[in-house]
Structure 1
Amino acid sequence: MHILIITQYFWPENFRINDIALGLKERGHKVSVLTGIPNYPSGTFFDGYTAQPSDEIWEGIYIYRSRLTPRGKGRGIDLLKNYFSFAFSASLKVSSIKEKIDTILVFEPSPITVGIPAMVAKRKFGASYSFWVQDLWPASLTAAGGVKNKFVLRFFDWLTRKIYNHAKYVLVQSRTFKDYILNQGVKGEKILYVPNSTEGYYHPMAASPKFASLLPKGFKIMFAGNIGEAQSLNTMLEAAKILKNKGYVIQWVMIGDGRYRPIMEEQVRRYDLSDSIHFLGKFPPEEMSHFFSHADALYVSLRRDYIFSLTIPSKVQSYLACGKPILASLDGEGAKIVVESGAGLASPAEDVTGLVENVIELYERSEGQREELGKRGLRYFNREFDRNIVLNKLEGALKL
């Protein structure tokens, strides 16, 4: 098959669809990608890219680049310009694709507007598309973006329904997405469960002196990824303050960046937690397993919100694959997986007391007991989220 992947984000931006594209190519399919100009999460174009994009080839995959307005600081009008500029430009770019396309895969970690060029491509190529839902719209606008304007929400609900109804299949990364999408008028037989996997470089690693030198000594809890408001990292800050007052020496290691980081750093100084919370900044994703090998636990959290309770944060799969204990401050499906897998401990979102109790429990367990948690998580990952399992599901949906 010749598969066209439509996604607003692609290499060199760090998204799971990069590895999925490689996996489909490895299976003998011809893969092309229609995407934008890389600018996530910095909000500015990556080095070597300008507002006048050129198509390129990466790992044998042809990338059609369309114009877009960079997301800037990721607020309000900037995001809307970013979303709609890509949707408009990518829809025009479709006309320049002269190859025969057999099927289309749309990757949607937000925004829903990525479905607009998919509908255009469906008409041009006479090919169906499968729409892989990573975020629920329009609910994500309220949960993550704070949008409450009824007109805006009604418009995006209408657009979402239209995009879903034009799709051959609506693929969901969490089983709990199904009821929400059913309520948007999508037929149940069109909704297929296709969870996320993770890249091959996430796996258990031996500890390395090179990475040990970058880390504080002691009991380490690591967080890796976007440092944003949706992650409710204030819960962690409050827990760190209580644990320090109780006399527990816990080192919280933050790897990554995001618009909430400066606010967090200021709070860390105000709370006098600079000896407990450490911001390492961004590193290549290929190095994450090396860092994780030095962690006593890996931390994942989200804000308390109904929509967030339905999702599985993508870092959960990466954490499971690395065979380390997981400490979760989550509601719903994400917490269920941590507990069901036996990989760690979960407390409700924004529950500071529950998080403190779980940190203490994990801290007081033996090293062997913590290792067993990690092994259980790895077994669960191999059974539920292995890359080949996910590629089989995707390949099946695209062929049907």
Structure 2
Amino acid sequence: MRILFLSDNFPPEGNAPATRLYEHATRWVRAGHEVTVITCAPNFPEGKLFAGYRNAWRQVEWMDGIRVVRVKTYITANEGFLKRTLDYLSFMLMATFMSLFERRPDVVVATSPQFFCALAGWMVSVLKWRPFVFELRDLWPASIVAVGAMRKSLLIRLLEHLELFLYRRAAAVVSVTEAFRADLIARGVPACKVEVVINGVDLDRYEPRERDGILARQFDLEGRFVAGYIGTHGMAHALPKVLEAAELLRGRDDIAFFFAGSGAERAHVEQIVAARRLHNVRLIPRQPKEAMPALWSLCDLAIVPLRDTPVFTTVIPSKIFEAMGMGVPILMSLPEGEATSIVRATGSGVCVPPENPQAMAAEIARLADASAEMARLRRQARAAAPQFSRETLAQRMLAVLERVAAR
């Protein structure tokens, strides 16, 4: 089967969409399928080209058996609505145009969260006369309103009409959560069209390991209980509230907070740390994907925060699965929903109310003093990981693509 997949994120970018696609596609290739990914030059989230890449009209490379076609786009940092929209539109236009030079696939797949990419996927499917599969990673544009990037307006209503149009035109929608599936069905999308393939973890790479001694010494983390946040520093993540928790615990010299990543809120995080002189917070920039297991090894606890807004009851942050693979207990600080249910059911962590620094600080302090409970949480986190093996999930999504292509 020939699979043509459109995504504006792909390795060496290390965010969730890039990682999911790469880990799925490598397994599809090993199963004997041809996979071509149309993407852009890597630049997320800073809006700066990664070393060794150019923003050229068309570049082709091979990555672990995946044929990667990179197209020229308008590049900007992951901040500012207008500039990001220009980025999205430029990828939509270039990906659609460059697809004309690709062999006719058996199926066309495109991923959100921004669905100008999905719109490109639908247009390519029309041009190629092949079925279109929409991989739904976020309820966009609802999430734009939820984080305060835009208010309800005529433009949002138009985007919602476009969203529903794409759901109707897709031969199948692959949702990353059951909650997204329920939302689509409630809005009239046929249940038989919506499949769920949640995010997961590559257990070949993420497994329990001793704390990296070199990094621990470098960041002055030796002998400390480390609460870590690893990932995109975005508007959705309520990171200023996490820093308030750090401020409440600044008197505990045995507890440190560790932030690794970048994004729209990174500069704000750095300003808060400097202004409040939070000596118990360590900040490092975005690291390559290969470094993630070593960074996770520094953490005793994985902080997973989101803002207190209803749309985030439907979200499952992908970092919880990496934490499970590493055997790192999870501290959830987001609205009660599918994600908190997973953590409670697996016993892989604890939950506190979202945007509540007092509750977060109290729970971190309690766990720092509860070695027996932490040992139990570590065992349970690792035991839960095989349920979310990327190997199994890649096969599940492949079955959807094969079924659609065979129609």
Letter paired with 1:238: E
CA distance in 2, matches of 1:114, 1:320: 30
Q: Secondary structure at the match of 2:226?
A: strand
- State yes or no: 1:40 paired with 2:44: yes
The question of 1:316 aligning with 2:307 is answered no
Cα offset, 1:211, TM superposition: 2.4
The alpha carbon displacement at 1:219 in A equals 1.2
Shift of 1:240: 1.5
1:220-369 equivalences in 2 (<5 Å): 220-245=226-251, 247=252, 249-273=254-278, 275-331=279-335, 332-366=337-371, 368-369=372-373
Aligned equivalent of 2:86: 81
C-alpha separation in 2, matches of 1:65 and 1:281: 25
From 200, 220, 225, give the equivalent of 1:219. 225
- Give, in angstroms, the shift of residue 319 of structure 1: 0.9
Deviation of residue 116 (structure 1)? 1.8
Partner of 1:70: 75
For 1:111, the aligned partner's letter is: Q
Residue 139 of structure 1 corresponds to 142
Identify if the C-alpha distance between structure 1 residues 266 and 318 changes in structure 2 by more than 3 Å, giving closer, same or farther. Answer: same
Deviation at 1:101, TM superposition (A): 0.9
Contact 1:94 1:120 in 2 (8 A): no
The answer to whether the Cα contact below 8 Å between 2:55 and 2:72 also exists between their aligned partners in 1 is no
CA distance in 1, matches of 2:243, 2:13: 29
Judged with a 3 Å threshold, the aligned counterparts in structure 2 of structure 1 residues 81 and 323 are, in CA distance, closer, same or farther, namely: same
The reply on whether 1:49 has 2:65 as its aligned counterpart is no
Check 1:294–1:65 CA distance in 2 against 1; reply closer, same or farther (3 A cut).
Answer: closer
**Residue identity opposite 1:138 in structure 2:** P
Deviation for aligned residue 1:137: 1.7
Amino acid at match of 1:328: M
Conserved? CA contact 1:221–1:250, under 8 Å: yes
* Displacement of 1:94: 1.7
Work out whether 1:117 is the aligned partner of 2:120.
yes
Identity of aligned residues (%): 25
Contact 1:229 1:260 in 2 (8 A): yes
Quote the offset at 1:149 in angstroms: 4.5
Deviating 4+ runs (over 3 angstroms)? none
Shift of 1:117: 1.9
CA distance in 1, matches of 2:217, 2:91: 42
For residues 54 and 256 of structure 1, what CA distance do their matches in structure 2 show?
27
Question: Structure 1 residues 380 and 73 mapped into 2: Cα distance closer, same or farther (>3 Å)?
Answer: closer
Q: Which residue of the partner structure matches residue 378 of structure 2? A: 374
Matched, 1:192 2:198: no
Q: CA RMSD in A?
A: 1.8
Corresponding position: 1:159 with 2:158: no
- Displacement of 1:74 in angstroms is 2.1
Q: Which of 351-360 and 78-87 deviates more?
A: 351-360
The answer to whether the 8 Å contact 1:324/1:371 transfers is no
1:342-376 deviation digits (Å, cap 9, x = unpaired): 1111112102222122112211211x431221221
In 2, Cα distance between equivalents of 1:33 and 1:118: 11
Contact 1:24 1:391 in 2 (8 A): yes
Letter in 1 for 2:269: M
Amino acid at match of 1:221: A
Measured against aligned partners, the alpha-carbon deviations of 1:47-69 in whole angstroms (never above 9, x if no partner) come to: 32124332222222212222211
Measure the CA separation in 2 of the matches of 1:66 and 1:52. Answer: 5
Number of paired residues? Answer: 394
Report if the CA contact (8 A) 1:43-1:74 is conserved: no
Q: Which has the higher contact order (CA 8 A, sep 6+)?
A: 2
Q: 1:182 aligns with which of 185, 190, 214?
A: 185
Indicate how the Cα distance of structure 1 residues 30 and 51 shifts in structure 2: closer, same or farther if over 3 A, else same.
Answer: closer
Q: Deviations over 1:283-336 (max 9, x none)?
A: 222222222223221111111111112100111111111111111211122222
Shift of 1:76: 1.6
**Unaligned ranges ≥5, structure 2:** none
Cα distance in 2 for partners of 1:100, 1:126 equals: 8
TM-score, length basis structure 1 = 0.93
What SS is found at the alignment partner of 1:222?
strand
Q: Which amino acid aligns with 2:282?
A: H
Shift of 1:129: 2.2
Matched AA of 1:7: S
1:86 Cα offset (Å): 0.9
Summarize deviations over 1:243-289 as a string: whole Å, max 9, x none: 235x464200111122322222221222231x211102222222222
Q: For 2:250 and 2:305, locate their aligned partners in 1 and report how far apart those are by CA, in whole Å.
A: 20
1:6: which partner in 2?
6
Q: Distance in 2 between matches of 1:287 and 1:269?
A: 26
Q: CA deviation at 1:112?
A: 0.8
